[in-house]
Amino acid sequence: MQTETSRTQTSLQACFQLSSPSPRIFVYCRLTLKRSRGNNEDDMKLTKSFLASSWWCCLIIQTLFCFAAQSSLFATAAAASSSSASNKDDDTIPTFDTSDSQQSASDYANYFSAYADLFHQKIMLTDHHRMTAYYNAIVQNRHVFKDKVVIDVGSGSGILAVWAAKAGARRVYAVEYTDMAKYAREVVRANGLEDVVMVIQGAVEDVTIPEEDWDRFDLQMEDGDVNSEEECHVNQPQSQSKVVDIIISEWMGYFLLRESMLDSVIRARDMFLKPKSGILLPSHATMLIAPIMNAYDHSVIVKEYKEGMVEWNDYLNNLKKQYGVDMSILTEDYDKEQRDYYLKSSHYVQLEDDVILAPPAVVKTLDLAVCTLEDAKGVGETAFSFDIESSEGGEGDDEINGFAGWFTVDFQTRTDEVGKKFGAKMKNPVHFSSSPEIGETHWGQQAFYFPSAIPIQRNSKVKIDGTMEMYRSKENARLYNVKFRYTIAAAVDGSNNLMDPVESVYNIP
């Protein structure tokens, strides 16, 4: 059991592993705040103050570190990004334009760098639900991996590549962009698998199949593929090296798509995977939303926003009184910052199953064998409808606080027409979910809170009809915005509208 001191040390360590935009490690700051709520209010304020201070120190330190390590690139990264904006789509992932070293450096600092830390890897490796799903998908389907060629996209510590080799793969390429690749090599070597697993550091978009592997591992393209094997041995584009039987990757981010790693998996598929028989694991993905009643967390967020504005006004008064400077002209901008953070951003949550007020609605499904880069850009405007009843014997204090979003993935046989005929058969399919009913995962759920709670009267029904849309942020293509449009009626027939139609846009930080 952790002591209070060790909890503080762990929280501090977590904060100093962060980079902006903070990848999944940000969960530890949220969890620390959540756990502190069981203590008194002074303890909670102290914890919040500590985490906030650590967060800002972390950003400053990492910014200075990245500048020192890559000063020649960062000196012009912002200018390069601005000057090239007119020539690029807003939702371009910088790493994919590998000819632009400045964009790549910026993307590394903003996204990849945290994944080079063992502490960050440990968070994912200790997610029991995550680990069990991937382990079972591989080990319980050894017949699929036996004598096959595998690519692990975003290999991290290399554990999926190790499992694939232990399951009988004859060649595994573990592709990792960050310096975590050096640790993956050590893990592979420690497990005696260096003759099977090759760790390649770099973006999967830049990877080529080593020429010597063609003969050593008897690499074969499918009958009827673009070129003969003899032609593919020499000077052929990597897009024609479709000799991989299995692509495995843990690419999912918050609410499935955040971080935009799916793009790399799709590109790897189109470059390397055998089009008829090749499989991807996971093979399918689903995004879901549902209305929630999470009154305490919602009230804390609204309270923090209001307290922040009170503190701002106190600051303005003291500034003018003590130093004779009036900064009230900035109040509107400060309020926007606070609203964007507290009220117009989704929030990481670990929900209990009983806060879900209606069966979830599916807003997007992906078949990894056939989905496109366009599919990875987000969710088109998708309709949903929820019927919500007050709880039995309720005291009339039920309320709707917002929506929650999560995802599921499946490791199963291909379902597209070509794959059903030629693809390997997963005799032991595996299902993974980040839903509240499963328990805690490092993904958690994303909560999209309403500006104010919607009450549910005793023995009544409420109907929510609307649409959800998700698209990449213009400021950072690895992040997403989610737009909800909805109406809320107090009767299932819609005869008593509780409010005018609402449109809310949230960013997923």
- Tens digit of each residue's pLDDT (9 = 90 or more) over 431-477: 999 999 999 999 999 999 998 899 888 778 899 999 999 999 988 88
The confidence score (pLDDT) of residue 460 equals 81
In angstroms, the first-to-last Cα distance of the chain is 31
Among 443, 453, 362, smallest CA distance to 402 is for 453
User: For position 456, what pLDDT does the model report?
Assistant: 87
Decide: residue 300, CB within 10 A, 0-12 exposed, 13-18 middle, 19+ buried: middle
**Both tokens of residue 288?**
């879901």
What would the two tokens of residue 154 be? 């975003």
The pLDDT of residue 499: 75
Tell me the catalytic residues: 250, 259
Q: Which strand (E) or helix (H) includes residue 52?
A: helix 41-69
- What is the per-residue pLDDT for 167? 98
pLDDT of residue 92: 59
pLDDT of residue 32: 45
Burial of 392 (0-12, 13-18, 19+ CB in 10 A): exposed
Asked whether the CA dihedral 269, 273, 276, 282 is positive or negative, the reply is negative
pLDDT at 193: 98
User: Among 143, 241, 248, 231, which residue's Cα sits nearest to residue 197?
Assistant: 248
Instruction: Yes or no: say if 200 and 179 are a contact pair by the CB < 8 Å rule.
Output: no
Residue 302 structure tokens: 């609204």
Q: Is residue 235 a contact partner of residue 209, using CB atoms and an 8 Å limit?
A: no
Q: What is the pLDDT of residue 78?
A: 37
Contact predicate 482/470, CB 8 Å = yes
Q: Which residues of the chain have pLDDT under 70?
A: 1-114, 224-240, 392-396, 491-495, 498
pLDDT of 265: 97
- Report how far residue 72's alpha carbon sits from residue 57's, in angstroms, rounded to the nearest whole number: 24
DSSP 127: -
Alpha-carbon gap, residue 110 to 392, rounded angstroms: 48
- Identify whether the C-beta of residue 363 lies closer than 8 Å to the C-beta of residue 289: yes
The radius of gyration of the chain's CA atoms, rounded to the nearest angstrom, is: 25
